[in-house]
Protein backbone atom coordinates (compact mmCIF):
# COMPACT_ATOMS: atom_id res chain seq x y z
CA UNK A 1 0.00 0.00 0.00
CA UNK A 2 1.39 3.38 -0.93
CA UNK A 3 2.09 5.96 1.72
CA UNK A 4 0.88 9.38 0.64
CA UNK A 5 0.11 12.18 3.00
CA UNK A 6 -3.15 13.91 2.09
CA UNK A 7 -3.05 17.66 2.65
CA UNK A 8 -5.93 20.12 2.46
CA UNK A 9 -6.06 22.31 -0.63
CA UNK A 10 -4.40 25.62 0.15
CA UNK A 11 -3.11 28.51 -1.91
CA UNK A 12 0.46 27.50 -1.09
CA UNK A 13 -0.23 23.93 -2.19
CA UNK A 14 -1.70 25.12 -5.47
CA UNK A 15 1.35 27.30 -6.06
CA UNK A 16 3.53 24.23 -5.59
CA UNK A 17 1.53 22.30 -8.17
CA UNK A 18 3.76 23.48 -11.01
CA UNK A 19 6.85 22.29 -9.17
CA UNK A 20 5.11 19.02 -8.37
CA UNK A 21 4.23 18.50 -12.04
CA UNK A 22 7.94 18.17 -12.82
CA UNK A 23 8.03 15.02 -10.69
CA UNK A 24 5.17 13.33 -12.56
CA UNK A 25 6.02 10.88 -15.31
CA UNK A 26 3.39 10.04 -17.93
CA UNK A 27 3.98 6.62 -19.47
CA UNK A 28 2.06 3.79 -21.14
CA UNK A 29 0.24 1.56 -18.67
CA UNK A 30 1.51 -1.98 -18.23
CA UNK A 31 -0.21 -5.01 -16.73
CA UNK A 32 1.51 -4.45 -13.38
CA UNK A 33 -0.39 -1.11 -13.13
CA UNK A 34 -3.76 -2.91 -13.25
CA UNK A 35 -4.31 -3.06 -9.48
CA UNK A 36 -3.54 0.63 -8.97
CA UNK A 37 -5.74 1.66 -11.91
CA UNK A 38 -8.51 -0.61 -10.65
CA UNK A 39 -8.32 0.92 -7.15
CA UNK A 40 -8.64 4.46 -8.54
CA UNK A 41 -11.45 3.56 -10.94
CA UNK A 42 -13.44 1.36 -8.55
CA UNK A 43 -13.52 4.14 -5.95
CA UNK A 44 -15.16 6.34 -8.60
CA UNK A 45 -17.60 3.55 -9.49
CA UNK A 46 -18.65 2.97 -5.89
CA UNK A 47 -18.56 6.49 -4.44
CA UNK A 48 -19.14 9.03 -7.23
CA UNK A 49 -21.17 9.73 -10.33
CA UNK A 50 -17.99 10.50 -12.30
CA UNK A 51 -18.59 7.26 -14.22
CA UNK A 52 -21.88 5.59 -14.93
CA UNK A 53 -20.40 2.13 -14.41
CA UNK A 54 -22.29 0.57 -11.52
CA UNK A 55 -20.21 -2.55 -10.89
CA UNK A 56 -16.54 -2.38 -9.91
CA UNK A 57 -14.01 -3.98 -12.24
CA UNK A 58 -12.19 -7.11 -11.17
CA UNK A 59 -8.49 -7.58 -11.81
CA UNK A 60 -9.05 -9.73 -14.90
CA UNK A 61 -11.26 -7.04 -16.47
CA UNK A 62 -8.75 -4.33 -15.62
CA UNK A 63 -5.90 -6.27 -17.21
CA UNK A 64 -8.02 -6.79 -20.34
CA UNK A 65 -8.79 -3.05 -20.42
CA UNK A 66 -5.05 -2.32 -20.55
CA UNK A 67 -4.17 -5.09 -23.00
CA UNK A 68 -7.03 -4.37 -25.42
CA UNK A 69 -5.89 -0.79 -26.02
CA UNK A 70 -2.91 0.14 -28.12
CA UNK A 71 -1.46 2.94 -30.24
CA UNK A 72 -3.36 6.18 -29.91
CA UNK A 73 -5.95 4.49 -27.69
CA UNK A 74 -3.49 3.00 -25.18
CA UNK A 75 -3.98 3.59 -21.47
CA UNK A 76 -1.42 5.92 -19.89
CA UNK A 77 -0.58 6.44 -16.23
CA UNK A 78 0.80 9.35 -14.26
CA UNK A 79 3.47 8.00 -11.97
CA UNK A 80 4.90 9.80 -8.94
CA UNK A 81 7.15 8.91 -6.05
CA UNK A 82 5.23 8.35 -2.83
CA UNK A 83 6.37 9.53 0.61
CA UNK A 84 8.70 6.49 0.80
CA UNK A 85 10.30 7.26 -2.58
CA UNK A 86 8.52 4.38 -4.35
CA UNK A 87 6.91 4.85 -7.78
CA UNK A 88 3.12 4.81 -7.58
CA UNK A 89 0.26 5.41 -10.00
CA UNK A 90 -1.36 8.78 -9.25
CA UNK A 91 -3.88 8.65 -12.09
CA UNK A 92 -4.62 7.26 -15.52
CA UNK A 93 -6.21 8.27 -18.78
CA UNK A 94 -7.16 6.95 -22.18
CA UNK A 95 -8.78 7.80 -25.46
CA UNK A 96 -11.68 5.78 -26.87
CA UNK A 97 -13.37 5.98 -30.22
CA UNK A 98 -16.26 8.44 -30.02
CA UNK A 99 -18.64 6.12 -31.87
CA UNK A 100 -18.35 2.67 -33.46
CA UNK A 101 -19.35 3.64 -37.00
CA UNK A 102 -16.43 4.16 -39.44
CA UNK A 103 -17.37 7.77 -40.25
CA UNK A 104 -16.56 8.73 -36.64
CA UNK A 105 -13.03 7.25 -36.65
CA UNK A 106 -11.42 10.70 -36.58
CA UNK A 107 -13.08 11.53 -33.24
CA UNK A 108 -12.18 10.23 -29.79
CA UNK A 109 -13.41 10.67 -26.23
CA UNK A 110 -11.05 11.14 -23.31
CA UNK A 111 -11.16 9.69 -19.81
CA UNK A 112 -8.99 10.97 -16.97
CA UNK A 113 -9.05 9.69 -13.40
CA UNK A 114 -6.81 10.85 -10.55
CA UNK A 115 -6.36 9.28 -7.14
CA UNK A 116 -8.59 11.33 -4.81
CA UNK A 117 -5.68 11.97 -2.43
CA UNK A 118 -3.65 13.59 -5.20
CA UNK A 119 -6.19 15.89 -6.80
CA UNK A 120 -5.34 19.56 -7.13
CA UNK A 121 -1.66 18.89 -7.83
CA UNK A 122 -1.71 19.05 -11.63
CA UNK A 123 -1.85 15.31 -12.33
CA UNK A 124 -5.11 15.53 -14.31
CA UNK A 125 -3.76 18.53 -16.21
CA UNK A 126 -0.68 16.57 -17.30
CA UNK A 127 -2.69 13.49 -18.24
CA UNK A 128 -5.13 15.52 -20.34
CA UNK A 129 -2.30 17.42 -22.08
CA UNK A 130 -0.66 14.09 -22.91
CA UNK A 131 -3.91 12.64 -24.29
CA UNK A 132 -4.48 15.70 -26.47
CA UNK A 133 -0.98 15.46 -27.90
CA UNK A 134 -1.43 11.72 -28.45
CA UNK A 135 -4.68 12.37 -30.32
CA UNK A 136 -3.00 15.03 -32.46
CA UNK A 137 0.00 12.79 -33.21
CA UNK A 138 -2.29 9.92 -34.20
CA UNK A 139 -4.26 12.05 -36.66
CA UNK A 140 -7.51 12.45 -34.77
CA UNK A 141 -9.51 15.60 -35.54
CA UNK A 142 -11.78 16.01 -32.50
CA UNK A 143 -11.72 15.02 -28.85
CA UNK A 144 -14.86 14.88 -26.74
CA UNK A 145 -15.31 14.80 -22.99
CA UNK A 146 -18.41 13.85 -21.09
CA UNK A 147 -18.59 15.33 -17.59
CA UNK A 148 -21.30 13.97 -15.32
CA UNK A 149 -23.19 16.62 -13.37
CA UNK A 150 -21.08 19.24 -15.25
CA UNK A 151 -18.55 19.16 -12.38
CA UNK A 152 -16.89 22.56 -12.32
CA UNK A 153 -13.33 21.33 -11.77
CA UNK A 154 -13.52 18.91 -14.72
CA UNK A 155 -15.16 21.45 -17.02
CA UNK A 156 -12.53 24.07 -16.14
CA UNK A 157 -9.71 21.59 -16.71
CA UNK A 158 -10.99 20.81 -20.18
CA UNK A 159 -11.64 24.47 -21.03
CA UNK A 160 -8.05 25.24 -20.04
CA UNK A 161 -7.00 22.86 -22.83
CA UNK A 162 -9.21 24.38 -25.51
CA UNK A 163 -12.42 22.41 -25.04
CA UNK A 164 -15.73 24.20 -25.41
CA UNK A 165 -19.21 23.27 -24.24
CA UNK A 166 -21.28 21.63 -26.97
CA UNK A 167 -24.31 21.10 -24.79
CA UNK A 168 -25.90 19.36 -21.84
CA UNK A 169 -27.37 15.89 -22.18
CA UNK A 170 -30.30 16.12 -19.75
CA UNK A 171 -30.97 13.22 -17.39
CA UNK A 172 -29.09 10.85 -19.68
CA UNK A 173 -27.75 8.65 -16.88
CA UNK A 174 -28.94 7.34 -13.56
CA UNK A 175 -26.77 6.62 -10.55
CA UNK A 176 -27.35 6.57 -6.79
CA UNK A 177 -31.09 6.87 -7.35
CA UNK A 178 -30.86 10.13 -9.26
CA UNK A 179 -31.02 11.08 -12.93
CA UNK A 180 -27.80 12.81 -14.01
CA UNK A 181 -27.03 15.43 -16.63
CA UNK A 182 -23.82 15.17 -18.63
CA UNK A 183 -21.92 18.12 -20.10
CA UNK A 184 -20.52 17.38 -23.56
CA UNK A 185 -17.30 19.26 -24.37
CA UNK A 186 -15.26 19.20 -27.56
CA UNK A 187 -11.80 20.21 -28.70
CA UNK A 188 -10.88 20.47 -32.37
CA UNK A 189 -7.26 19.66 -33.10
pLDDT tens for 117-171 read 999 889 999 999 999 999 999 999 999 999 999 999 999 999 999 999 999 999 9
Looking at per-residue confidence, does 117 or 15 come out higher?
117
Whether 180 is covered by a domain: the verdict is yes
Q: How far is CA 170 from the centre of its chain?
A: 22
Q: What is the DSSP letter of 44?
A: H
Say which CATH number the domain at 48 has.
3.40.630.30
> How many whole angstroms separate alpha carbon 68 and alpha carbon 152?
32
Whether 3 is covered by a domain: the verdict is no
Whether 96 is covered by a domain: the verdict is yes
Rounded to two decimals, the pTM is 0.86
Domains identified in the chain, total number: 1
> How many whole angstroms separate alpha carbon 174 and alpha carbon 159?
25
Domain of residue 95: give its range.
11-188
> How many whole angstroms separate alpha carbon 105 and alpha carbon 115?
30
Whether 181 is covered by a domain: the verdict is yes
Whether 6 is covered by a domain: the verdict is no
Amino acid sequence: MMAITQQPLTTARRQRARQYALAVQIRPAVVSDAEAIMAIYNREVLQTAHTFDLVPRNLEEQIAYIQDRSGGLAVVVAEILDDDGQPTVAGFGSLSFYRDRPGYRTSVENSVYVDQRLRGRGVGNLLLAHLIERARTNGFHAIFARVADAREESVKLHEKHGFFLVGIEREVGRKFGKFRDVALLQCLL
